[in-house]
Amino acid sequence: MTPFYQTIKLMFVACIMISYPLQFYVPMERVEKWITRKIPVHKQTLYIYATRYAGVLLTCAVAELIPHLALFISLIGAFSGASMALLFPPCIELLTSYAKSELTPTLWAKNIGLLVFALIGFTTGTYSALVEIAKTFA
């Protein structure tokens, strides 16, 4: 192995070691708040650490047990990414405009167009990801 290849591998490991805790921060913050509200004080630390360990072990198990992780990631991206980026914003705008009594035909038309586009993207992305997964098992 060349020194350049070793350097790239070390940089990749460093990126994972930095990004994993950052991605895990928000869900664990929510779980810790729930634990501090529901669990007695003398048991909170145990539950928090057990939850952290379980989350790390669960993500490692998913990474190891799914044979084609890239296909699974594309399925999750097509399913949830399309929902969060394309489907929810028009719905939220319609709801907030309705609450403010500011719905207009132009606003309806724009958001219905976005929702149709979102449903097409959501459906085709999820379908193509499922087809690719099915090809690997056939």
Q: What is the pLDDT of residues 85-106, one digit of tens each?
A: 888 899 999 999 999 999 899 9
Residues 79 and 101: their CA atoms lie apart, in Å, by 32
Output the pLDDT for position 30. 93
Domain that holds residue 44: 1-65
Are 72 and 134 members of one domain? yes
**Which domain-ending residue is among 65, 97, 114?**
65
Closest by CA position to 78, among listed 23, 47, 121, 37: 121
Q: Could you give the angle at the alpha carbon of 54 between the alpha carbons of 48 and 57, nearest 5°?
A: 145
Same domain, 46 and 87: no
- State whether 44 and 72 are in the same domain: no
**pLDDT value at residue 17:** 84
At position 128, the amino acid (one-letter code) is S
What is the structure's pLDDT at 134?
85
Same domain membership, residue 72 and residue 133: yes
The structural domain count of the chain equals 2
Is pLDDT at 37 greater than 90 in this prediction? yes
Same structural domain for residues 6 and 19?
yes
- The whole-number pLDDT of residue 122 equals 86
Whole-number Å distance between alpha carbons of 51 and 43: 12
Q: Are residues 61 and 123 in the same domain?
A: no
Record the tokens describing residue 35, joined without a space: 């634990």
Same domain, 47 and 3: yes
Note the pLDDT of residue 42.
92
Tens digits of residue pLDDT in 46-78: 999 999 999 989 988 888 887 888 888 888 888
Percentage of the chain exceeding pLDDT 90: 43
Query: Is there a single domain that holds both residue 93 and residue 119?
Result: yes
Q: Which tokens belong to 101?
A: 């009594």
